[in-house]
Structure 1
Amino acid sequence: MVKRVGIRDVAELAGVSISTVSNALNRPGRVSDELVERVRAASDRLGYVPLQAAQQLRVGRSGLLGMTVINIANPFFADMVAGAEDAATAAGLRILVGNASDDIAKELDHLELFERVQVEGALVSPFGPVDAWQERLRKRGVPVVLVDAVDDAGVMPSVSLDDVAGGRLAAEHLIRTGRKRLAFVGAREEVRQVRERLEGARAAVAAHPGVALEPIWTSTATTQRGLAFGDELADRRPEDRPDGIVTSNDHLAMGLLHGLIARGIRVPEDIAVVGYDDIEFAAIAEVPLTSVRQPAREMGRAAAEILIARINGTETPDLTNVVYQPELVIRASTSTAR
């Protein structure tokens, strides 16, 4: 293993003390110009790079924000991280990102790491229940802002989408196109956002007599699982299949599209499909996908701005809980108009 060059090595080569090296590199006004040049020459020769984290911790700041997301393989979360990075960079901060990969244990591991590296604050898009960790972070003095989630206790600020409205938008659109046998296909019933999307779809169906809704839970919200589910639907008798489907995300929806088409089922003529998130690939799917749009990048940026304001003591009450409204983007997966 290659040994890391440290400040002691620079001091030995320059023939000075460790404190002189520190002053020459960080506070050059405290030493002579000759010593500054000697230390810098030794540092360049050895390829010494100061540990930025250690320097910042000496002045009481790490310069880091932590951010954990449910699954960064979903472009929605990648966009959300990008938005948070926009705000962090503007404030001279960096973000340490943890990917929970749909695993509560991994989420907790990332939050523990944030504590160990002394992040100045954390952005959390939670997979598991927040009561498993919020009290510990509060006691450590780590400010937290929830992203794509809401704190029922009203303790933590949040930036979220009205997912009940999103589920209702999707189901109402299918009903308006004449669909009577709806299905909601989602993964991970324990995830609040998914439950709320189903709640919204149920509310829309309840307002229309003669329309039914079948909740269907899958093990994962991936394209592959959607593809397999398309096969499962194709094996049903036509009269037992839904004629309109709301999915919990675009990955599931796009896999479902391909699975149905591969088995000769027409989309949208036989089954109409609505996704959720409106990721970039939704518009270029084999059948362009109707989807409920979330402003992911804007949500990430807003959450980071609220967190930075909390850290700096400039937070205002009107920015404590921000709720965005969803938008339905209609494409060919639900409309036969060309």
Structure 2
Amino acid sequence: MDPQHLPALFPPRLMNRLHELLDISELQAFARFDDAASKAALARAEVLITGWGCPPLDEALLEAAPRLRTVLHAAGSVRHLVSEAGWRRGIAVSSAVQANAGPVAEYTLAAILLAGKNAFALSRWYARSDAYPPAQLLSGIGNFRRRVGIIGASRVGRRLLELLRPFDFAISLSDPYVDEAEAARLGVTLLPLDDLLRTSDIVSVHAPSLPQTRHLLDGPRLALIPDGAVVINTARGALIDHDALTVELESGRLGAVLDVTDPEPLPASSLLHQLPNVFLTPHIAGSLGNELERLGRTVVDEAERLVDGLPLLHRVHQEDLTHVA
């Protein structure tokens, strides 16, 4: 991994636990495998603890690591980390994606609540005014029985559904892998995507970024969303056609809370920076700062299960990657 992440992922109390469980290379952390020291460590390694900045575990790297049998990933998706060669070799792969889902869901909950109050647009209005907003700007705002549509029962989507339960929302879900019985257990109304878009005041995107989900929300689908609704994206920018979204936002018909964009980072020249109905953040919904320790704790817990001969709790299987990030 990039060594800069190591102290936050594994503060002393976690690093001490890790040392008790595993015989860790003296290098502690390295991001490249092209020098003699890292190659020697790789040749001995049975377990790789990886994170942001790790190069892909391709065939050449795997040939240099003949003893490798487990990868514990202290981050989210392993889609671009583990190659076909790694899956063929039967390496066990675990990911901290579940731990990373928590802060993304929390950010999204905050965005939903503030969007229901039209807080983002009213904040900009207030900055240019010396009075409280007139009644016409406050008409229709509020979170009582607000219709919230969730696209994707991913780990983030499911955690968000849990966080939404105490509130007075009418929640619908669209996910091709969820049936009516599971939707009932989740406490949501299951709808086809187009019907969800037609009937939601707030649309929050939590689908995986796959070739088949690129521009899932394109121009025609964005046009289905009611006037005055807000689109929230904390998943991946490519899920939304940003040209089509910009047209809707520039017209003022929709609002948006975007933590991810396409491209990313968003150029300073983008019109989205200027629009009063758009709230942009620089990909901060996922684990940052002191939240990284939660990812490290997941890895240490998995290492303990490995040593104890127990199945990995957060193991990822290749077949999962057909429908998850």
Q: Scaled by the length of structure 1, what TM-score is found? A: 0.40
For the pair shown, the structure with the greater C-alpha radius of gyration is 1
More strand by share: 1
